[in-house]
Structure 1
Amino acid sequence: MQLTGAQIVLECLKEQKVDTVFGYPGGTILNIYDELYKQHDDFLHIRTSHEQGAAHAADGYARSTGKVGVCMATSGPGSTNLVTGIATAYMDSVPMVAITCNVNLPLLGKDSFQEVDIAGITMPITKHGYIVKDVKDLASTIRKAFKIARTGRPGPVLVDITKDVTAKTCDYRKETIADEKPEKKYTSDDINAAIKMIKASKRPFIYVGGGAVISGASAELKKFAELVDSPVCDTLMGKGAFDGTDKKYTGMIGMHGTKTSNFGVSECDLLITLGARFSDRVTGNTKTFASKAKILQIDIDAAEINKNVRANFSIVGDLKMVLADINKKLEKIDKLDHSEWLKKIYENKKKYPLSYETDKLTCPYIIEELDKLTDGKAIISTDVGQHQMWAAQYYKFRYPRTFLTSGGLGTMGYGLGACIGAKAGNKDKLCVNIAGDGCFRMNMNELATASKYNLPIIEIVINNNVLGMVRQWQTLFYEQHYSETIFEDKVDYCKVAEGLGCMAIKVTKKSEVSAALKKAIKANCPVVIDCHIEEDDKVFPMVPAGASISEAFDAGDLKNKK
């Protein structure tokens, strides 16, 4: 049948079972929005307050559901406003398709009004980018974009369409999109080699990254940890892949990881790396990282093998599939026993617990109360900074796809949009964003989006009147030179929230936290809880930049050193 380009875009979204789109209209994308008007029963379109919010919402939708997130924007500043969100998704391997429209084909390359080369701009931060200049290529391009976004190591794909293509017509034939199974590139010899390393180990340690969440490998990971009889740590992106309440779990690894994880990895003789890329925030000094261990790395992306840390052996493949194959063979051998190693790990867990000051209102206390009230079943998004680390440390993530945070890019202002996207994709789940006051200022306009669509999300603002993480560095490493990190203004976040159509609750002491959270959870509307904490609270443990993770220190160490 003959359809316009705009109609083809929407038909292709239906093929991909897209039910939710986040975007903002403008001149060059008007034809697509006109079709959305006619087909509004087929899609939930959420118009965010800013295009960056649309990209973050598509990202949060994708991370929490496992589906491809979709965002739309017009040409020029509309498309460039997506860039930070696209880069965030790229760094954290989030499947997303960003659809933009550009000026008419004859106007391309002439510095026309609101014309930018968005495909060129986003080339380094997308898995692939397309410019569609012929309506006959439109359907096949969109189908390829979705396939690229979701297969292998996921990531964002850009489809830029000239406006005249959305108006022209051509023949369209519907296609059924079949489910795709990951390609198996490894052999039984690879599995046997991995098992040989595992059997030879006396002190194994499992290090879990975001790939375990993406591949849906939680069940296989749990079984693997039991078969190997090994402690388990995770990265910021790996949260929830392994149950945070399991006895074998030792906490996060890296710059703000637990001493148990950091010291354990430094002492292990085999580091089993599952879907993790050895980020600098994890490894610290790579020359001393896991220096006593052989390294077994399993990852879907061959480019990550030996990129930051050299592995003794590696398997390239989908983690869920690889672990399933390893588990089958491990079940047939004598049970592995690392009880002595685990005994030492458990002793370290008691010796080096996470701790905070209990005589005042703190972010860790707020997060622990949230964890108790939600039983770890909420979807938690965060922005970036101290609150992000506290959330990772003190909320016991029991399930995958429940922690949404900007790990690779470290995007301030990410969390609120992501929370909106998560709620749109998970209407039956409680969705909470935890933000610092600095991050909240970046995209607090998205509260208007939450109130417009009556999305009952909870926004917890950790308000210390400073840029907390930057101030922490200034205190520890920059002789307390608090250059531009103190908010000396009169902003009232409760009034801002109410002005944008949300309920607001102010919390200034510990006794108010539980009641505020319960009230917000019961409210059938978006709620902002403005929590006032002291400006000099710090995240511990901490590893100085470039130091070995075995040099992790906490407040007690600082006090003893002084």
Structure 2
Amino acid sequence: MQLTGAQIVIECLKEQGVDTVFGYPGGAILNLYDELYKNQDSIKHYLTSHEQGAAHAADGYARATGKTGVVFATSGPGATNLVTGIATAYMDSIPLVAITCNVGVGLLGKDSFQEIDITGITLPITKHNYIVKDVKDLASAIRKAFAIARKGRPGPVLVDIPKDVTAEKTEFTASENKMVSEPGTVCDSQIATAIKMIHKAKRPMIFVGGGAVLANAGAEVQAFVDKVQAPVCDTLMGKGAFNGADPLYTGMLGMHGTKTANYGVSECDLLVVIGARFSDRVTGNAKKFAKNAKILQIDVDEVEINKNVLVTGQVIGDVKAVLQRLNEKLEPANHDEWIAHIMEYKEKYPLTYNEEVLTGPFIIEEIYRQTEGEAVITTEVGQNQMWAAQFYKYKEPRTFLTSGGLGTMGYGLGASLGAKLGRPDKIVINIAGDGCFRMNMNELATAGRYNIPIIQVVINNHVLGMVRQWQTLFYDKRYSATVLEDNVNFAKLAEALGVKGVTITSKEEFKTAFAEALTLGKPVLLDCQIDADEKVWPMVAPGAAIDEAFDEGDLNAQK
């Protein structure tokens, strides 16, 4: 049958099972939006306040559901406004398809109104991208975009379509071959080497990253830990791949990881790394990382092997498939003495905070208590993000959504909207600092417009908290451009945007307000006023080894 390019895009989205799209219209993409209007019964479009918010919403939808997120934007500034969101997805390996429309083919390269080379701009931050200049190639490009976004290590793909291509007609043949990602083969010799390394270990430690979440390998990780009988730590992106309430869980590893996790990795004789890429925030001084251990790395992407840290052995393949193979062959082990040693660290070095006043850690713990660990938590970046990672126990994958690789301030609110729309059965809470919240707080209007019942918690210290923490510790308290001295009232702002807003100054007020927010069934903002000098502990100084982690008590002891 003969279809226009715009109709082909919509039909291809339906083929891929897409029922939710985020975006913002404009002149170049009007033909697609006209077809969306005609197909609103099968594809729901959510108009955000800004294209960056749309990109983050599509990303949050993908992370929460495991599906591929889809975002639309028009040419020029519409397309460039997606860039930060696309880069965020790229750094964290999130499957995303961005569809932009450009000026007509005859106007390309002529500095036309709202023309931009968006494929050139996004080349370094996408797995692949296309500009489709012939309508005959459009269906193939859309289908390939979804295949590439999901295959192997996931990531974003961009398809740019000139406006005249969306109007032109061609013959379209429907396809029922919805993209399914195959796990691929796993090398037998690599499995054999891994088995030997694990069986020889006396002090094994298991380190879980975001790859385990992306592979939906939570059950396999649990079975592997049961077989190996070893303490477990994770990355920021690996939260929930292993139950944070399990006795063998030692906490997050790295710059703001627990002393238990950092000491365990520094003392183990085998570190089994599952879907993690050895970020600098995890390793600290890479030359001193896991200095007593052989390292076994399991990863779908061969490029990650020996990139940041040299490893002893590797298994390349889908994490879920690899762990299934290992679990079939591994003999149950006993490392009681080693585990007891690590549990002594866990008892000796718990995460603590000032319990007398309202603090970030208290807020996170109270959210955990009232939600019984069943919520989806999104975050912004900085102190709020670290507290959310430290003090909420994530029981399952896809319940902690945060910008890990790029560290995108302004990510969380848009992501929370996508997560709630993708998982309406879940309580969804965005944890923000006041600095991050300012960046995309306009998306509260989106929450209000569609009555998306997310809870926005602002941990408001009236400073750029994490930057100020560094200035306090390493810059002799020269607080350059980090004090937010103004009279912005977030609760009133929320009300103006159609969202209930509450200002909170005490622990009791937070308990009451959050309990009410859980019952309202509509978006709520809680503006929680805390001290400007609350800090995230422990911390590893830049360039130091992770076993040199220090906290406030250590600093006081040095005085």
- Which interval holds the TM-score relative to the shorter structure? over 0.9
Residue of structure 2 in register with 1:505 after alignment: 502
Residue 373 of structure 2 corresponds to: 376
Instruction: State the partner residue of 1:236.
Output: 236
Tell me whether 1:520 sits opposite 2:517 in the alignment. yes
* Cα offsets for 1:179-226 (capped at 9, x unmatched): 535343322222111010001100000000000000011101001001
The amino acid of 2:355's aligned partner reads: T
The equivalent residue for 1:283 is 283
Aligned residue for 1:531? 528
Letter in 2 for 1:8: I
The residue matched to 2:287 in structure 1 has which SS? coil
Q: How far off is 1:39 after superposition?
A: 1.2
Question: Which residue pairs with 2:355 in the alignment?
Answer: 358
The CA deviation at 1:167 is 0.2
Q: How far, CA to CA, are the matches of 1:181 and 1:510 in structure 2? A: 47
In the other structure, the counterpart of 1:109 is 109
Contact 2:96 2:156 in 1 (8 A): yes
User: 1:414 corresponds to which residue?
Assistant: 411
The Cα of 1:451 is off from its aligned counterpart by 0.5
Please state whether the residue corresponding to 1:369 is helix, strand or coil: helix
Give the partner amino acid of 1:346.
M
C-alpha separation between the residues in 2 aligned to 1:190 and 1:440? Answer: 46
* Separation of aligned partners in 2, 1:182 and 1:392: 31
Cα deviation digits, residues 348-402 of structure 1 (max 9, x gap): 0000000000111001001101001111111100000001000000000001000
Q: Which residue of 2 aligns with 1:300?
A: 300
Amino acid at match of 2:500: M
Please report how far the alpha carbon of residue 546 of structure 1 lies from its aligned counterpart in structure 2 after TM superposition.
Answer: 1.4
Q: Distance in 1 between matches of 2:232 and 2:284?
A: 19
- Per mean C-alpha deviation after superposition, the further-off stretch among 38-47 and 384-393 is 38-47
Give the partner amino acid of 2:224. F
| Matching residue of 1:272 | 272
Secondary structure, in 3 states, of the residue corresponding to 2:325?
helix
Structure 1: 5+ residue runs without aligned partners? none
Q: Name 1:458's counterpart in structure 2.
A: 455
Q: What is the aligned partner in structure 2 of residue 12 from structure 1?
A: 12
| Residue 57, structure 1, aligned to residue 54, structure 2 | no
- SS for the counterpart of 1:78 is helix
Match of 1:83 in 2: 83
Q: 1:425 aligns with which of 422, 443, 446?
A: 422
Structure 2 gap segments, 5+ residues each: none
Aligned amino acid, residue 218 of structure 1: G
Aligned to 1:208: 208
Q: Which amino acid aligns with 2:154?
A: P
Q: Do 2:147 and 2:179's aligned partners in 1 also have CA atoms closer than 8 Å?
A: no
Query: How far apart are residue 464 of structure 1 and its match?
Result: 0.4
How much is the aligned-residue C-alpha RMSD, in angstroms?
0.7
CA distance in 2, matches of 1:111, 1:551: 54
Name the CA distance, whole Å, in 2 between partners of 1:479 and 1:50: 38
Amino acid at match of 1:381: T
Q: Distance in 1 between matches of 2:301 and 2:162?
A: 33
Offset from partner CA, 1:436-480 (integer Å, 9 cap, x none): 000000000000000101100000000000000000000000000
Once residues 161 and 210 of structure 2 are traced to their aligned partners in structure 1, the CA distance between those partners, rounded to angstroms, is 32
1:434 counterpart = 2:442:
no
Once residues 543 and 558 of structure 1 are traced to their aligned partners in structure 2, the CA distance between those partners, rounded to angstroms, is 12
Mapped partners of 1:130, 1:195: distance in 2? 43
TM-score of the aligned structures, taking structure 1 as reference length: 0.99
For residue 44 of structure 1, report the CA deviation from its aligned partner: 1.1
Q: Distance in 2 between matches of 1:399 and 1:9?
A: 35
**Structure 1 residues 92 and 483 mapped into 2: Cα distance closer, same or farther (>3 Å)?**
same
- Cα distance in 2 between the residues matched to 1:191 and 1:181: 22
Tell me the distance in 2 between the aligned counterparts of 1:181 and 1:209.
Answer: 20
The 3-state SS of whatever aligns with 2:477 is coil
Among residues 472, 481, 486, which one is paired with 1:489 in the alignment? 486
* 1:42 CA displacement: 1.1
Q: Secondary structure in 2 aligned to 1:443?
A: helix
TM-score by length of 2: 0.99
Q: Give the SS at the match of 2:130.
A: strand
Deviations 1:133-181, CA, capped at 9 Å, x for gaps: 0000000000000000011000000000000000000011110124535
- Please give the per-residue CA displacement for 1:527-550, whole angstroms capped at 9, x wherever unaligned: 000000000000000001111001
Take 1:340 and 1:183, find their aligned partners in 2: how far apart are those partners? Answer: 37
Query: Helix, strand or coil: the match of 1:314?
Result: strand
> Do structure 1's residue 398 and structure 2's residue 395 form an aligned pair?
yes
- Report Cα offsets for 1:100-157 as digits up to 9, x if no partner: 0000000000000000000000000000010000000000000000000011000000
SS in 1 for 2:288: coil
CA distance in 2, matches of 1:4, 1:197: 58
Corresponding residue pairs, total: 559
In the alignment, which residue of structure 2 is the partner of 1:387?
Answer: 384
**Alpha-carbon distance change, 200 to 398 in structure 1, aligned in 2, over 3 angstroms:** same
Aligned to 2:30, the other structure's residue is in SS state helix
**Aligned mates of 1:504, 1:177 — CA distance in 2:** 47
Is the CA contact (8 Å cut-off) linking 2:100 and 2:159 kept in structure 1?
A: yes
In 1, distance between residues paired with 2:143 and 2:533?
Answer: 51
- Matching residue's letter, 1:213: V
Amino acid at match of 2:139: A
> How many angstroms apart in 2 are the aligned matches of 1:504 and 1:493?
7
Query: CA 1:92 to 1:9, structure 2 compared with 1: closer, same or farther past 3 Å?
Result: same
Aligned counterparts of 1:501 and 1:480: Cα–Cα separation in 2: 39
Secondary structure in structure 2 of the residue aligned to 1:486: coil
* 1:505 partner letter: V
Equivalent residue number for residue 184 of structure 1: 184
Give the structure 2 partner of residue 67 of structure 1. Answer: 67
Is contact 2:183-2:321 (8 Å) kept?
A: no
Aligned match of 1:152: 152
Secondary structure of the residue that 1:199 maps to in structure 2? helix
The one-letter amino acid paired with 1:30 is L
1:24 corresponds to: 24
Q: Alignment partner of 2:537: what SS? A: coil
User: What is the alpha-carbon distance in structure 2 between the residues aligned to residue 37 and residue 328 of structure 1?
Assistant: 51
Report the equivalent of 1:316. 316
Question: How far apart are the structure 1 equivalents of 2:180 and 2:358?
Answer: 49
Distance across 1 between alignment mates of 2:188 and 2:481: 57
Given the alignment, which residue of 549, 553, 560 partners 2:550?
553
The residue number in structure 1 matching 2:337 is 340
* Cα distance in 2 for residues equivalent to 1:181 and 1:144: 12
**Structure 1 position 506, deviation (Å):** 1.3
Q: What is the CA-CA distance between 1:513 and the residue it aligns to?
A: 1.4
Matched, 1:175 2:175: yes
- Matches of 1:189 and 1:365 in 2, distance apart? 49
